[in-house]
A and B are shown apart, each in its own frame.
Chain A
Amino acid sequence: MQLITIFSLTFPAFPWFGMDIGGTLVKLVYFEPVDITAEEEQEEVENLKSIRRYLTSNVAYGKTGVRDVHLELRNLTMCGRTGNLHFIRFPTQAMPRFIQMGHDKNFSSLHTTLCATGGGAYKFENDFRTMADLELLKLDELDCLIRGLLYVDRVSFNGHPEGYYFQNPSDTQSCVKMPCTLDNPFPMLLVNIGSGVSILAVYSENNYKRVTGTSLGGGTFLGLCCLLTGCETFEEALEMASKGDSTNVDKLVKDIYGGDYERFGLQGSAVASSFGHMMSKEKRDSISKEDLARATLVTITNNIGSIARMCAVNEKIERVVFVGNFLRINTVSTKLLAYAMDFWSKGQLRALFLEHEGYFGAVGALMELLKTTEDP
């Protein structure tokens, strides 16, 4: 790693990236320095300048790359430099094109380390080397997740809290989003809902364990939705789900009991058997794609909530933080999770959410590159 010494600080060479290559999405964070001196600018090599311009003057890249401008962290100080932190994502399927671009822009000549986490850091390691002559520094995704999360919470979201919860989650009328910070964050149960789900019990920044996981995550939701409704993207699937009624698809307690199952406190409106009505031909013929999308969303979400709750009880942790891109623009799920945690625990558990949802792994990877704590 080439080091440039300015004053008494040492920091790695630009550009500064952190990458999280997941099963479905690649998350990229890019630090754009805004304190470049005239001298520095003159010295700057052409391709570095071009990378900076390309990334910061566009909000879309190719057909599927997106920069989440609303998530940009402005005037951040990292490693003695001041700049903006940008949040970019694109489907993992488009990785070959990304690597090709790295090759075309001669990224390897910049001799920077590319810190990458997520499973794809292993899967694509070879491709980076052969197609773009780039060496990845592979990092553990859970280490990066926790590090990134704690960092963003500390520096806050442009002066606002990074975290939030729902007040009155059971009341659709008065359910309201309330900001909060993670002060005294430990212990916390961290539920990372990406393609799959990982559940971690976090006792301190460096002391955590992976409690369990489930294979029924965001990937299942999208995959099943595509199969059942013919939709093609996450956004389409959510759009359909927002219009559907899952009770036409799911068998509820009242469909079996005719009412509540009082003995064990199961309300008639609780789902007894997800997709349970679908064994009946008449029911299959009477439901819509939107109903199916909704039922898929509700089933996956409730299953995650149920498992999270069991872990929280098992680990004796009251705060459950949900992250991951399954929750991106997915208020149906966030509210369901908030409700489930609150209802089934009789108010003992609280569900928390973070604005930067699925980007913490990439932030953590960037921090590993800088190997420094942020300036206060």
Chain B
Amino acid sequence: MGDVWTWLISFFFLIALVGIIVYQLVCLADLEFDYINPYDSASRINFVVLPEFILQGTLCFYYLVTGHWLMTLFCLPYLFYDYQLYSKGQHLIDVTEIFNLLNREKKKRLFKLGYIILILFLTIFWMIYSALDDYDD
């Protein structure tokens, strides 16, 4: 029974991550179509970058603690990539160069989004699986 809860919690984690990334994408898209200025766009995105990383790290740790080491493995590349960005100081958006980086930043986030959604599906699958398992028991 506990397993379902585990999956359910990680499911919310993932939904939050998806929300954060979609928010960043929306900011970038707004910038591209000139709805907001680069200063606002950059500060809004930079405001949620660290929470995103922390959330992601927590999720990974959570999987590890709850014993789902396979999912941990799935999360690790993402975490490693984030860590790399952070250690190079490239995790924040550079407001002065934002327009030159726009496409790359968008692509980056789209990949992240795809990855997260993949993990989300896995999680949902495991959640349903374990729920059915519980039911069978």
Q: Do A and B bind each other?
A: no
